[in-house]
Structure 1
Amino acid sequence: MMLHRALLALAGDIRGHLGVNVGLGLLITLANVGQGLLTALVFARLLTGADLAGVQWPLVGLAAVVLLRAGLVIAAEIAAQRTAHAVKLRIRSRLFTKLLALGPGYLTDRRSGDVQSTLVDGVESLETYYSRYLPTVAVCLLGPAGILVYLAARDPLSAVVIALCVLVVLVLPRLWDRTLGKAGAEHWGTFGRLNADYIDAMQGMTALKSFNAVERERTTLGARANQLYKASMRHLGLSLFDSGITTFGLLAGPALAIALGVLRFASGSLDLFTLLVLLLLSRECFRPLGDLSKYWHAGYLGVAAAKKIDELLTAPPLIGDRPDGPAVDARSLRPVVAFEGVSFTYPGRDVPAVQDIDFTVEPGHTVAVVGESGSGKSTLVGLLMRYFDPSHGRITVDGHDIRALPVEDLRSLIAVVSQDTYLFTGTVADNIRLGKPDATDEEVRAAALAANAAEFIEELPGGYDTELGERALTLSGGQRQRIAIARALLKDAPILVLDEATSSVDSVSEAAIQQALGRAARGRTTLVVAHRLSTVRDAEQIILLGDSRIREVGVHDDLMRRRGDYARLVAAQSADN
């Protein structure tokens, strides 16, 4: 049987929900038994010559039991739905909490579509296991056992025959559980890959159209869909084979018991009432087994999905708070940021992303980190935000290792404006309030004004209440960036990080953004990561990275006079422009 410890642990304590479901299932079985006994009594009396008056009260009892059973079935369905929704809510909450704890670093080597299928479809596929299958297991163990005890008291031989058939139905299909499990895992893996491909295609629709790659992508998706079709058919074929054997047992068991009963009745060794009871209750012994088989197959994809869910829940965190670290009040720290001998290598890679990085950013000063693509600039931002922890060395704020600070407290000190600005579905005001949910309308407008965003926001159809679609694609890159700057200004954090904040905008937007960034950086500890060297000329210190190391340090004029790598990069960019 599919009593998986991992699945049972996954849902937490659901004994109350399961108890209600099992109780209602047993009451339904009891009602079915009562219905069968009363029906057998009515027919036995009528066949032995009783008139309608002689079966009046059994018929009244039969009607009452039928009505009671209908009510119990409705109550059982409601209880099953409540169990399903409670379990799914609990598991999704655990998964989302875990994913947030793992942070962006966890997603660096995983497809977001694959993770999404685990969070949504994977959890949905568990519904049948918890709300239907588990209660039915208990009903199958208790209900038929009780019926067999009653039948054994009336006719031991028939009870033995039925018990043997029940064991065959329970045990025989388990012989190919492992094969079915492999087929289910293959089906789920193929489904996850197809889901990830569809999300990639939707998010990259513009690129597919512009490069005339639609037909190639359609071919790729078609091949993926065909793989899912074949995996589904293999899984379905095994399921049907299993269902066929189970169905045969469910029909053959009662038929064999009844056939023996009829022969013994004909020989006079079995009375009429017992034969009728055998006729009606033998089927009831197998009814829960039929439900168990049905829910077993419906829940098996959940077992396959549970592996992915368990992988996510048990994934080791890339970072974590130090429970034994000294208590530090982040609000009391001076915003002095220092990288001290920092080296870091991404998981699964051999070449370090950054090596032996040393520099300090003082309060009110701006330090710019520049270099070619792949030199490690954005990695420094990820390390400061603790998406990862350094392999060697440390990063400090006011002399305190950031690993000793609670992650939430650390990030409360930092506002980030990144190259890839993400705006959520919601209003413009909601997106600006991301870092300060309780901000007033006046504060939102003031932040937008300081970010040079107020003018275009007020021209939108609903102003600050304009609903933005997914990723706010109706806005230009420069407009999205200015909303991100307003968001950072409203957060009012003492440390400001600008990660390629103007790399994807035109020159007109860049001028407005640079003006807004100048206001944002005023009085703050500012770390600028830039590829466009024209945006960092006024920084108090410029650090050039090359091959993951610091190659040059100085102010713009000094670096130009040295005629080194920085000067060559400036000359190359000037020539390109």
Structure 2
Amino acid sequence: MAYCAEPIDHHYRGEHPLRTLAYLAREDRGRLALGTVLFAVKSSPTWLLPLITANVVDVVVGHQPIFRLWINCGLMLALLLLNYPGHVLYVRCYSYAIRRISNTLRISLCRRLQELSIGYHTRVSSGVLQTKVIRDVETIEQMMQQASDGGLGALSALIGGLVVIAYRTPSFLPVIVVLVPAAAFIAMKLRAPLKQRNEDFREEVEQLSSRVLEMTSLIPITRGHGLERSAIERMDGTLRRVRSAGQSLDLTNGRFGSLSWIVLNTVGVGCLAGAAVIAYYGAFGLTAGDVVMLSAFFSTLTGATSGLLNLAPMITKGLESVRSVGEVLQAPDLESNEGKAEVEQTRGAFDFRDVSFAYPDAERPSVDHFDFSVRPGETVALVGASGAGKSTVLNLVIGFLRPTSGRIELDGVDMERLDLRTFRRFVSVVPQETILFEGTIRQNVSYGLDEVSDEAIVAALRDANALEFVEQLPAGLDTVVGERGARLSGGQKQRLAIARAVIRDPRVLILDEATSALDTRSEALIQEALARLMRGRTTFVVAHRLSTIRDADRIVVMDGGHVSQVGTHETLLNSHGAYASLHAVQAG
């Protein structure tokens, strides 16, 4: 199914969530209208039964012709039989629309998460985003389902009942209409606290989701160091806040339901007593059947109004989820590529022209007045202490970050003028922490590529020194690696990451601490594989161990975001500067 993330983003600009829902449902207006008509037909017995009951009572009490009894009962039976086909068709119409809207929202959210900048993802917890995609959209879906089932039922009974009363006993219509203002008054009084309680509860659940995600990822460290009690205590505070917010929400909902029930039933009893007294004294021509009808309608209309009021908490919660989803759909932190020049090919030449970059609220720039040029096919290593700006430079090269000032040129063209999505087709990244998904080795190596042959996958595995261990696995290429590659060792995962890079035949290669935390044999295999991968490609390397970058064409020593030294391994050693000091520390 085609998705419409861009139109949703264009339309959602902080307006009322109901307008957003109306916009989402625009493709299903005809289907929803038909479903509404079908619902009115299939639920008509609810508000016609009191009228037919009144007619039957009048036939019995007044000894009217018996055929009127059979006509009324036959009409009721016919309407009851229409309920089944009407209900099935109604469900088909509404279910299709609601499921399509929720699916469109999830697709739109997933697309937007791919478009948002890396800076956004560093600020917003993945657990919070997961909650928005799953829980918030589910809440919106539940709101629409309950609003359609309960809301249409209540409105049908309310409107039908008022029409019948206006026709049969018009003098009682003003009294009945008092129910609606009374209910609206209660809803207005409790709307503000309901909204705030729902918002508080949503925020606490998002925080809980983030904590659970963090806790599960840290389980190996927690168990390995005997920190289970600390982990549980850390979760306790979050769970207590969720419980407290939930209790406050439930209490507010309880007060809302109880007050509305008391008011509505009190008004209903008063109306019933009034109708009985009027009929007793023979005023307004009220018959016994009319009293029975009004009595039944009091219950029906009270139930309908209560049903509408009881929908308020769910609707409030659903609209809050619409706002929550809108926080992502309208997030401004996007990478802008529309209308920019596509990169059809690249030589891999980079020129940093007085580039600076500062993260929001940072005390100083992470990269400051960075001037440097990289020739096509050159291997450049970035070294320096933690916080020197090495990873920031890599993110600038990939385009995840854009310079705060200055510019970066790719083959002589300012990267601000390029569609970075097309540029990244020529880039492969081998990160420090290999990221694999729960699929087969074949799927992980060929991820994102169409119609890749097994021969190409085997060749990439061979170049990455991974074919030997893959062939020893029971299912070979079809071996499932487990969540995040849990069934493989660190060295095996890293070699699969290299194979994933090899098969793309990139022009630009990014190696971010690709051999850290590996045993000696694994490091040797990976270094050999990386040497083959780097040949003829522009390569940026960040490495902690200087022994792994001694063959780089140039080494850039960074300090506080600045370029401190540039040269080959031998040149920098002979200069007796910062690089020589780092090398002496590691060699010693």
Aligned equivalent of 1:12: 23
Paired residue secondary structure (1:421): coil
Alpha-carbon distance, 1:281 to partner: 3.0
Equivalent residue, structure 1, for 2:387: 374
In 2: Cα distance, 1:172 partner to 1:304 partner: 20
Query: In structure 2, which of residues 312, 329, 335 is the aligned counterpart of residue 296 of structure 1?
Result: 312
1:264 alignment partner in structure 2: 278
Query: Do structure 1's residue 285 and structure 2's residue 296 form an aligned pair?
Result: no
Partner of 1:565: 578
Aligned to 1:228: 242
2:377 is paired with a residue whose SS is: coil
Q: Is contact 1:42-1:55 (8 Å) kept?
A: yes
Alpha-carbon separation, structure 2, partners of 1:12 and 1:508:
59
**For residues 439-482 of structure 1, what are the alpha-carbon distances to aligned partners after superposition, in whole Å with 9 as ceiling and x for unaligned?**
11111111001000011111112111011211011111111110
Give the corresponding residue for 2:79: 65
Provide, for residues 285-330 of structure 1, a one-character-per-residue CA deviation record: whole Å limited to 9, x for no partner. Answer: 344323322322223322333333222122112431253x4x35x2
Counterparts of 1:73 and 1:500, CA distance in 2: 62
Determine the C-alpha separation between the residues in 1 that align with 2:349 and 2:22: 45
Instruction: Provide the residue aligned with 1:388 in structure 2.
Output: 401
Distance change in 2, residues 1:27/1:284 (3 Å) = farther
- Which residue of 2 is the match for residue 251 of structure 1? 265
Q: Deviations over 1:110-130 (max 9, x none)?
A: 221112111111111112333
Aligned partner of 1:188 in structure 2 is 202
Aligned counterpart, 1:105: 119
Match of 2:57 in 1: 43
From 434, 438, 452, the equivalent of 1:421 is: 434
Between 1:9-18 and 1:381-390, the stretch displaced more is 9-18
Paired letter, 2:327: E
Q: In the alignment, residue 572 of structure 1 is paired with which amino acid?
A: V
Aligned to 1:547: 560
Report the equivalent of 2:7.
Answer: none
Counterpart for residue 333 of structure 1: 346
Structure 1 unaligned spans of 5+: none
Q: Distance in 1 between matches of 2:344 and 2:37?
A: 55
SS in structure 1 at match of 2:360: coil
Rate the CA distance shift 1:10–1:76 in 2: closer, same or farther, 3 A: closer
Task: Report the Cα distance in structure 2 between the residues aligned to 1:4 and 1:248, rounded to whole angstroms.
Answer: 35
Q: Which runs of 5+ in 2 are unaligned?
A: 1-13
Selected match of 1:309 from 325, 348, 354: 325
- Cα deviation for residue 75 of structure 1 reads 4.1
Q: How does 1:480-499 map to 2 (within 5 A)?
A: 480-499=493-512
Between the aligned partners of 1:24 and 1:350, the Cα distance in structure 2 is 63
Q: Alpha-carbon deviations, 1:401-424, whole Å to 9, x = none?
A: 122111211111111111111001
* Secondary structure of the structure 2 residue equivalent to 1:125: helix
Shift of 1:58: 2.2
Aligned-residue offset at 1:19: 2.7
* SS of equivalent residue, structure 2 residue 178: helix
After superposition, the Cα gap between the structure-2 partners of 1:20 and 1:348, relative to the gap in structure 1 and judged at 3 Å, is: farther
What does residue 378 of structure 2 align with?
A: 365
Task: Measure, in 1, the Cα distance between the counterparts of 2:187 and 2:331.
Answer: 34
Q: TM-score, normalised by structure 1?
A: 0.93
Q: Residue deviations 1:22-60, cap 9 Å, x none?
A: 334433453322333223222332333468765233222
Q: Decide whether aligned partners of structure 1 residues 134 and 73 sit closer, same or farther in structure 2, where only a CA change above 3 A counts.
A: closer
Report if the CA contact (8 A) 1:84-1:128 is conserved.
no
Where 2:502 maps in the other structure, the secondary structure is helix
- Cα deviation per residue 1:235-268 (whole Å; 9 max; x = unaligned)? 1111111111222233233332222111111111
Residues 533-570 of structure 1: per-residue CA shift (max 9 Å, x gap): 11111111110111111100000001000111101111
- 1:66 is aligned with what amino acid? L
SS at match of 1:551: strand
Within the alignment, does 1:170 sit opposite 2:184 as a pair?
Answer: yes
Q: Give the stretch that moved more between structures: 538-547 or 272-281.
A: 272-281
Aligned CA RMSD, in angstroms, stands at: 2.3
The one-letter amino acid paired with 2:237 is A
- Secondary structure of the residue aligned to 1:222 is helix
Secondary structure in structure 1 of the residue aligned to 2:23: coil
Tell me how far apart the structure 1 counterparts of residues 88 and 53 of structure 2 sit (CA, whole Å). 23
CA deviation after TM superposition for structure 1 residue 360, in Å: 2.0
Determine if the alignment matches structure 1 residue 501 to structure 2 residue 517.
no
Q: Distance in 2 between matches of 1:556 and 1:11?
A: 64
The answer to whether the Cα contact below 8 Å between 2:51 and 2:164 also exists between their aligned partners in 1 is no
Distance 1:401 1:10 in 2: 41
Instruction: Work out the number of aligned pairs and report it.
Output: 570
The residue correspondences of 1:407-486 to structure 2 (distance < 5 A) are 407-486=420-499
Cα distance change on mapping 1:437 and 1:573 into 2, 3 Å: farther
**Higher mean C-alpha deviation, range 28-37 or range 166-175:** 28-37
Provide the identity percentage. Answer: 30
CA contact (8 A) 1:22 1:139 kept: no
Corresponding residue of 2:99: 85
Find the aligned partners of 2:522 and 2:530 in 1 and give their Cα distance: 12
The verdict on how the C-alpha distance between 1:145 and 1:55 changes in structure 2, with shifts beyond 3 A counting, is closer
Residue range with higher mean Cα deviation, 69-78 or 156-165: 69-78
Q: Aligned partners of 2:571 and 2:407: how far apart in 1? A: 29
Whether contact under 8 Å (2:375, 2:538) holds in the other structure is yes
